[in-house]
Structure 1
Amino acid sequence: MYNRTMVYCTPEHRFGSDALLLARFCEPKRSQKAADLCSGCGIVALEWHDRGHRGPCTALELQPEGSALLAAAVEEQQLTHITPACADLRTWRQDEGQFDVCACNPPYFTEGPQSKNAAHALARHENTCALEDVCACGFRLLKDGGRLALCHRPERLADVICALREAGLEPKRLRLVQQRPASAPWLLLAEGRRGGKPGLRVEPPLIVEGEGGFSPEMLRVYRKKENKKEGGR
């Protein structure tokens, strides 16, 4: 990453631009208590750290291999404020009502063919973690006024809004991500607030590509790539 925070990945446990966009969408303040749910290799927690977050951060992941990758990165870099936890968010009960911010890049699919790779199947399909489970966990962990942010597929927008509200998290922000200005959205970013009043703010779409390559906003997300180009001149 830009500030040289290391992320350990494998072919089974890696991350995409959706996780980076999620981390930017719901960045906690420096000392706030945060949780990265369905953390995988811990990319959201590590991106927050890279951008200056130093408050307590729990990274909750069901698959031991993914949680172990984050544990190795935390130990190697002495990131004492990040705590990897290999556990099921459906039954996680520690520090309830104490978090300011939770984020989750959940499984996207409820049906359709599944990968023969068990790790990929768990990460992509709601076999062990449904959208409702994520929202219920967020509600339990968050203090009043705390925020849960999700990234998901646009075709699941109605499900996301309903699940947030039914869990007691009022939908407050929504942003769609488009590859190009004329393209249909391929990702949504949504935020619900515990105890929030009704009123959803729809933010301008995030455009990934402009003329000649990444848009200025995506270049800021991929700071490392932008700086590499500058350094090679």
Structure 2
Amino acid sequence: MKGWIKLDDFTFEPLAEHLRLCVTGTHRFGTDAFLLSDFAAPRRRDTVCDLGSGCGIIPALWFRNPEDAPKRVYAVEVQELAVTQMKRSLQDGGLPDSRFFPVHADLRQLKGRLEGGSFDLVTCNPPYKAVGDGILSGSDADRIARHETLCAFEDVCDAASYLLKFGGRLCVCQRPERLADLIDGMRSRGMEPKRLRFVHQRPDAPPWLLLLEGRKGGKPFLRVDPPLLIEGEGGFSQEVLRIYKKEQNHSL
């Protein structure tokens, strides 16, 4: 296919009986993607954009049940290898090419690429480390994914504010210590934080992740949901098993 780059070391990870996602050692996925995909919960009539989509895991999970998946999903990613992986998932993995659209673009430069004010939902699993925070990761791909080298959270909010309809939602995950940055970034761009949930490994452990929803043009009122616990009796909690679509506590 024109525009592809070569995939040397890739595998397909099964997400459902009919669905597999192309992953590489460079672009893969973790638990946070599953949690954000579930938290965002798009409706069937929604048009959705996932920013910094990587291998496309967050929107791909919505197609585990195609009947409940959103109407149309655009997966924006700046790294060419990751876009190639998404295209491979479309060709050989079961993603629907009539509803899932990879977009090779910088999320800071979406004007003219995607129509402003036309999206019901924007999702993003952004880099967790702010500029100057910690030692930079070794590879270019890891630096882009983990550190705000190519985009800061303010850039995510700028893109979401451009893309969303009035009343549309931005859903993100981030480390708890950056909550103030998220609230400030959303509010300064006309999106009001409306729903917050913390993720804990165990009930007695501090949260290691937060999930936050902002609404464009929303009125001030923040709902804090009960914590999401990763561990439960016998291994994983019942909620995590539901998110992973597993019935029993075998390996996820």
Q: Is the pair's TM-score, using the shorter chain for normalization, greater than 0.5?
A: yes
- Deviation of 1:75 after TM superposition, in Å, equals 2.4
Partner of 1:91: 109
Determine the C-alpha separation between the residues in 2 that align with 1:161 and 1:70: 31
CA deviations 1:29-73 (Å, max 9, x no partner) are 112100111100000110112233141110000111111111111
* Structure with the larger strand share: 2
The equivalences for 1:29-178 within 5 A come to: 29-51=43-65, 52-76=68-92, 77=94, 79=96, 80-93=98-111, 94-110=114-130, 111-178=133-200
TM-score computed with the length of structure 1 as normaliser: 0.94
Equivalent residue letter for 2:106: D
How many residue pairs match? The answer is 228
- Deviation of 1:228 after TM superposition, in Å, equals 9.1
Superposition RMSD in Å: 1.3
The equivalences for 1:16-35 within 5 A come to: 16-35=30-49
Structure 1 residues without counterparts, runs of 5 or longer: none
Pick from 214, 227, 244 the counterpart of residue 222 of structure 1. Answer: 244
SS at 1:8 equivalent: strand
Determine the C-alpha separation between the residues in 2 that align with 1:173 and 1:40: 25
Equivalent residue letter for 2:104: C
Are 2:44 and 2:69, in contact at CA under 8 Å, matched by a contact in 1?
Answer: yes
SS at 1:90 equivalent: helix
In percent, how many aligned pairs have the same letter?
47
- Deviation of 1:78 after TM superposition, in Å, equals 5.4
Pick from 208, 211, 226 the counterpart of residue 186 of structure 1. Answer: 208
Equivalent residue letter for 2:203: P
TM-score computed with the length of structure 2 as normaliser: 0.87
* Structure with the larger helix share: 1
Determine the C-alpha separation between the residues in 1 that align with 2:95 and 2:153: 33
Determine the C-alpha separation between the residues in 1 that align with 2:147 and 2:58: 20
Determine the C-alpha separation between the residues in 1 that align with 2:29 and 2:198: 19
Partner of 1:5: 19
Structure 2 residues without counterparts, runs of 5 or longer: 1-14
